[in-house]
């Protein structure tokens, strides 16, 4: 049976990206033919300016070599321009007569430079700046001529001017606007940029209108004349005054166009067989010229071309990050401000730093930065997430590192890191390796960097830092996805949030029901989505959804941690770090019986048996169970440990019974699965010997009761727990801690630690749920206890068989 035929008109970044996305999700669905007007394979148009500046060659910016087309069985026609789309016979005709039929057509014809309608605009030496041919012509002109004029003080114009200046030409930038980059910068930043560029030798004529281009004796352009009569020499004139969507071919074929090819949210034109993406498109009246929105369009178009029909493109919030002759610039959102907005401004002209943040209703709505843009991606994430910033407003202008709001965004100084600085500790990946991969392989997303470098692919704590490096490397081509819209995995376009909402809202109780209701792209999911969906099911419907062992990681299936040599680590539970001679004897017997090579005390106050063979695990656990010992869940996305100090039971400084409290908490939470591992600690006094300040829940005894802290993490990137409240009794400790953990269990996304959950929703939100709403707090606590009431050890020992140890507190002398 023959495959349906897909024809792509346009071999540029948006069109080929759509094909790449399509090949990921349905690789053998179409016979694909691509027509490109240029004689090159797909290349990175963003990097034309480094080519012009002499920093890179054309071969360095190729995204897909010719071999890629062959490997994916794609028929590529380079140097052929489509002249006709016959929508009745469903075929396209190239200018050389080549005809190809289609079942689905994808138009990605991009844009064309706007050539000022002035006399002489067709003279030799007058060019646009959009492709390799234009770049080669400018490089050639720089070897033969002296005077260059660039019309347009926008992104393209300044890149062209910078490149020509580096090639040794005398360059003047002519701009109709009152300041440079008026669509990306406010007046202050624009004037600062102009001053810096003038110091580097560029000349500017602002608020100046071109009247005519003058022909020289050689027949090519020789000068440019402005309104008012002023004239300057020009051996080459680069038109960079804007771009226009290239939709003439589509319009000629009868497809509805209005300042672009009009598409709906599925990237479909008024002809249901024809899709369009990229700069040629008008979506909700907007044509985008930045790469990031075009890639979002590509993903949606691929989803519908594959027949899944669940993706929607609803528009993009864009940002601009660029570097002109070493000067960093950034802007996003409504950076101009206006009615009902407030501005926070930091202006240091001598130091070359300017920042303006625009606030409305306690949310960041826009910003512009000059000189120091390291925090740009973080500000942009705040803007996209619409986070309430009132709690960090006082220090917001000084950036992420001073606010301490690192969370998902990582460190804020990624751009300043040395190339040999390690970014991913799990896999030993340096910044230089990541940057090299981004440039060499044309990477634009975090997932692509993970695939090619392994950075952020293990524990994920460096993901924000990798995103910062992406942003600083490719500038405006990178737009971070909104935190709540990132897909769970490649099997679906739905986010963790949408999956959780569907499971609860539609009362879905099996992964098969979830996959069907949400139109999963793969029949059985993958190793990323299956564990997540399984967790969401059992946490939403604890007494209805059936836990699926095959949807758990190997550690959870084996009830032990797999080690690098293929053996396993077994950790019996020691409630609150307490043990008995009988338990120690049972551990020693097991270690000898099964020839355990290493016995180690863990950081969580337990004993680890390392080097256990997989076939010995059931027998070893049976022996330990017989001695009354249950699993320590050291392998699970679950409650791990409750670390304790000796507390008032023994310590002369202790104010509360730390060991007793710790055992109560651990008994209460036994077998509690969660989005990620959960660790607690109880310290009997403010000396905090149990290190409660870096735990997911930390309990510190004081004279009048306990202080509760939440969201700590002692991992690769240490997070200090934040103060939640003060309570007076053991029962309140259990209620408030349990309510917080149940809130996290119900709202956290799979593999999201409590600290990252708190970064996402904010401490004030959690306090509102736990402290300010007594009825809600008690309901969360009740749901936790209900979910755990039937909890058993993986080896079938119930918690009732392990009573809480009783302690007799010592009497302290007055």
Q: Are residues 679 and 563 in the same domain?
A: no
Nearest to 683 by CA among 670, 694, 669, 668: 694
Same domain, 527 and 656: no
Report the side by side order of strands in the sheet with 203-206: 126-127, 236-239, 147-151, 170-175, 203-206
Q: Exposure string (b/e) for 333-370, b if CB count within 10 Å is 16 or more? A: bebbbeeeeeebeeeeeeeebbbbbbbbeeebbbbbbb
Q: What is the CATH number of the domain that holds 671?
A: 3.30.413.10
Q: Which domain holds residue 577?
A: 555-626
Residue 2 is encoded by which pair of tokens? Answer: 């023959």
- Alpha carbons 482 and 486: distance in angstroms, whole number: 7
Contact 36, 76 (CB under 8 A): yes
**429, part of any domain:** no
Residues 180 and 276 in one domain: no
Does 174 lie in the same domain as 229? yes
Q: Are residues 150 and 281 in the same domain?
A: no
Terminal Cα-to-Cα distance of the chain (whole angstroms): 92
Pairwise CA distance, residues 357 & 608, whole Å: 52
* C-alpha Rg value of the chain to the nearest Å: 31
How far apart CA 624 and CA 590 sit, in angstroms, is 7
Q: Which tokens in the block code for residue 544?
A: 């209805």
Average pLDDT of adjacent 10-residue blocks, the chain of 814 residues: 92 95 92 96 88 87 92 96 96 96 97 93 94 94 94 89 93 94 88 90 94 93 94 95 94 96 96 97 91 88 90 81 69 85 89 90 91 80 85 85 47 64 70 87 80 70 75 67 70 89 93 92 84 93 88 78 88 93 95 96 93 92 90 88 94 93 94 93 95 95 95 82 95 97 95 89 92 95 92 47 36 32
What's the pLDDT at 53?
86
Tell me the C-alpha distance between 243 and 18, whole Å: 22
Q: How many CB atoms lie within 10 A of CB 778?
A: 12
Three-class DSSP category at 126: strand
What's CA 395's distance to the chain center, in Å? 24
Q: Is residue 446 part of a domain?
A: no
Whole-number Å distance between alpha carbons of 236 and 245: 25
Residue in 571, 573, 580, 572 with CA at minimum distance from that of residue 806: 580
Domain count, the chain: 5
Tokens standing for residue 780: 């969360």
In 3D space, the residue among 761, 641, 750 whose CA is nearest the CA of residue 696 turns out to be 641
Single pTM value for the model: 0.60
Could you tell me if residue 785 is inside a domain?
Answer: yes
Whole-angstrom distance, CA of residue 8 vs CA of residue 268: 14
237 and 249 housed in the same domain: no
Last residue of a domain, one of 596, 626, 656: 626
The pLDDT score that the predictor gives to residue 402 is 59
**Best CA proximity match to 480, nearest among 376, 361, 335, 406:** 376
**CA dihedral in degrees (238, 242, 245, 248; nearest 10)?**
-50
Instruction: Name every residue whose Cβ is closer than 8 Å to that of residue 228 and which is 6 or more positions away in sequence.
Output: none
Taking the C-alpha atoms of residue 388 and residue 97, their distance in angstroms, rounded to an integer, is: 59
- The closest of 223, 204, 215, 206 to 146, measured between CA atoms, is 223
* Residue 101 counted as domain residue: yes
DSSP-derived pairing of the beta strands 236-239 and 147-151: parallel
User: Which pLDDT score is estimated for 565?
Assistant: 85
Same domain, 103 and 160: no
- Same domain (yes/no): 646, 768: yes
Burial class of residue 432, CB neighbours in 10 A (0-12, 13-18, 19+): middle
Q: Name residue 331's beta-bridge partners.
A: 320, 368
Query: Is residue 137 one of the residues assigned to a domain?
Result: yes
Q: Is 806 exposed, middle or buried (0-12, 13-18, 19+ CB in 10 A)?
A: exposed
Q: At what angle do helices 13-25 and 291-305 cross, to 10 degrees?
A: 40
Residue 185 included in any domain: yes
Number of H helices, E strands in the chain: 26, 36
Instruction: Determine the Cα–Cα distance for residues 51 and 139; give it in Å rounded to an integer.
Output: 9
**661, 766: one domain:** yes
710: its two tokens = 């939440």
Residue 218's SS3 state is: coil
Domain assignment present for 220: yes
pLDDT for the residue numbered 477: 61
> Distance between CA atoms of 388 and 659, rounded to whole angstroms?
39
The alpha carbon of 661 is separated from its chain's Cα centroid by a whole number of angstroms, namely 40
Supply angle C-alpha 27, 32, 38, rounded to 5: 125
Nearest CA to 378 out of 344, 342, 414 is that of: 414
Domain end (from 600, 626, 652): 626
Annotate 515-526 with three-state secondary structure.
Answer: HHHCCCCCCCCC
- 144 within some domain: yes
Residue 656 has phi, psi (to 5 degrees) of -135, 160
Is 501 found in the same domain as 561?
Answer: no
| Statement to judge: residues 19 and 95 lie in one domain | yes
Question: 243, 241, 271: which is closest to 257 by C-alpha?
Answer: 271
Q: Indicate whether 167 and 18 sit together in one domain.
A: no
Assign residue 81 a region (left: φ > 0; alpha: ψ between -120 and 50; beta: otherwise): beta
Coil, helix or strand at residue 149 = strand
- Contact yes or no for 122/221 (Cβ under 8 A): no
Strands 568-570 and 607-612 come out as antiparallel
CATH of the domain at 612: 3.90.480.10
8-state DSSP, 786: H
The interaxial angle of helices 763-770 and 754-761, nearest 10 deg, is: 100
Q: Of 571, 605, 626, which residue constitutes the final position of a domain?
A: 626
């Amino acid at each position: 049976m023959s495959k349906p035929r897909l024809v792509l008109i346009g071999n540029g970044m948006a069109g080929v990206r759509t094909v790449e996305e399509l090949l990921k999700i349905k690789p053998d669905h179409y016979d694909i033919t691509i027509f490109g007007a240029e004689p090159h394979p797909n290349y990175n148009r963003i990097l034309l300016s480094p080519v012009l500046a002499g920093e890179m060659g054309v071969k360095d910016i190729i995204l897909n070599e010719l071999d890629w087309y062959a490997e994916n069985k794609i028929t590529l026609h380079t140097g052929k321009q489509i002249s006709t789309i016959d929508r009745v016979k469903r075929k396209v005709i190239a200018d050389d007569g080549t005809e190809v039929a289609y079942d689905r057509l994808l138009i990605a014809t991009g844009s064309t430079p706007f050539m000022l309608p002035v006399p002489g605009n067709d003279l030799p030496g007058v060019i646009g700046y959009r492709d390799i041919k234009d770049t080669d012509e400018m490089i050639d002109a720089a070897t033969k001529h002296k005077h260059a004029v660039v019309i347009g003080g926008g992104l393209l114009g300044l890149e062209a001017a910078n490149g020509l200046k580096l090639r040794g030409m005398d360059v003047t930038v002519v701009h109709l606007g009152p300041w440079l980059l008026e669509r990306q910068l406010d007046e202050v930043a624009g004037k600062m940029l102009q001053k810096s560029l003038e110091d580097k030798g560029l000349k500017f004529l602002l608020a100046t209108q071109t009247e005519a281009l003058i022909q020289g004796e050689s027949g090519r352009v020789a000068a440019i004349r402005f309104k008012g009569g002023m004239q300057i020499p020009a051996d080459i004139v680069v038109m960079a005054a804007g771009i226009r969507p290239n939709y003439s071919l589509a319009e000629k074929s009868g497809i509805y166009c209005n300042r672009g090819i009009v598409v709906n949210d599925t990237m479909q034109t008024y002809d249901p067989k024809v899709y369009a993406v990229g700069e040629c498109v008008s979506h909700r009246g907007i044509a985008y010229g930045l790469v990031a929105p075009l890639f979002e369009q590509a993903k949606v178009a691929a989803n519908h071309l594959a027949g899944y029909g669940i993706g929607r493109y609803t528009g993009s919030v864009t940002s601009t990050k660029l570097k002109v002759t070493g000067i960093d610039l950034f802007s996003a959102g409504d950076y101009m401000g206006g009615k009902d907005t407030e501005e926070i401004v930091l202006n240091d002209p001598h130091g070359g730093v300017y920042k303006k943040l625009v606030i409305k209703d306690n949310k960041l709505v826009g910003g512009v930065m000059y000189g120091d843009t390291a925090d740009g991606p973080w500000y942009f994430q705040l803007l996209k997430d619409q986070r309430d910033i009132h709690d960090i407003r006082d220090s917001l202008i000084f950036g992420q590192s001073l606010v301490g709001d690192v969370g998902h965004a990582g460190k804020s100084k990624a751009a300043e890191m040395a190339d040999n600085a390690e970014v991913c500790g799990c896999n030993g990946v340096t910044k230089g390796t990541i940057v090299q991969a981004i440039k060499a392989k044309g990477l634009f997303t975090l997932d692509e960097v993970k695939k090619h470098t392994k950075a952020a692919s293990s524990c994920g704590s460096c993901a924000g830092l990798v995103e910062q490096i992406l942003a600083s490397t490719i500038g405006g081509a990178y737009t971070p996805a909104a935190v709540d819209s990132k897909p769970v995995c490649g099997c679906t376009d739905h986010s963790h949030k949408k999956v959780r909402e569907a499971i609860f809202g539609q009362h879905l109780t099996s992964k098969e029901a979830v996959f069907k209701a949400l139109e999963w792209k793969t029949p059985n999911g993958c190793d990323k989505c299956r564990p997540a969906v399984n967790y969401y099911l059992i946490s939403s419907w604890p007494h209805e959804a059936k836990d699926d062992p095959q949807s758990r990681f190997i550690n959870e299936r084996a009830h032990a941690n797999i080690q690098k040599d293929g053996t396993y680590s077994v950790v019996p539970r020691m409630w609150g770090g307490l043990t008995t001679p009988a338990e120690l004897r049972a551990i020693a017997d097991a270690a000898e019986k099964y020839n355990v090579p290493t016995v180690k005390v863990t950081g969580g106050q337990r004993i680890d048996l390392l080097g256990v063979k997989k076939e010995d695990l059931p027998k070893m656990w049976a022996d330990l169970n017989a001695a009354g010992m249950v699993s320590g869940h050291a392998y699970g996305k679950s409650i791990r440990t409750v670390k304790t100090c000796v507390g008032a039971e023994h310590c002369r400084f202790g104010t509360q019974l730390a060991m007793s409290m710790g055992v109560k908490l651990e008994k209460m939470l036994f077998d509690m699965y969660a989005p990620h591992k959960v660790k607690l600690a109880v310290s009997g006094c403010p000396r905090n010997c149990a290190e409660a300040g870096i735990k997911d829940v930390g309990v510190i005894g004081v004279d009048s009761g306990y202080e509760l802290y939440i969201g700590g993490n002692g991992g690769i990137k240490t997070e200090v727990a934040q103060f939640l409240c003060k309570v007076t009794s053991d029962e309140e400790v259990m209620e408030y801690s349990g309510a917080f953990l149940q809130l996290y269990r119900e709202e956290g996304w799979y593999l999201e630690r409590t600290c990252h959950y708190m970064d996402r929703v904010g401490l004030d939100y959690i306090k509102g749920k736990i402290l300010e709403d007594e009825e809600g707090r008690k309901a969360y606590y009740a749901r936790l206890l209900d979910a755990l009431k039937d909890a058993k050890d993986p080896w079938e020992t119930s918690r009732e068989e392990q009573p809480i140890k009783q302690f007799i507190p010592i009497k302290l002398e007055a």
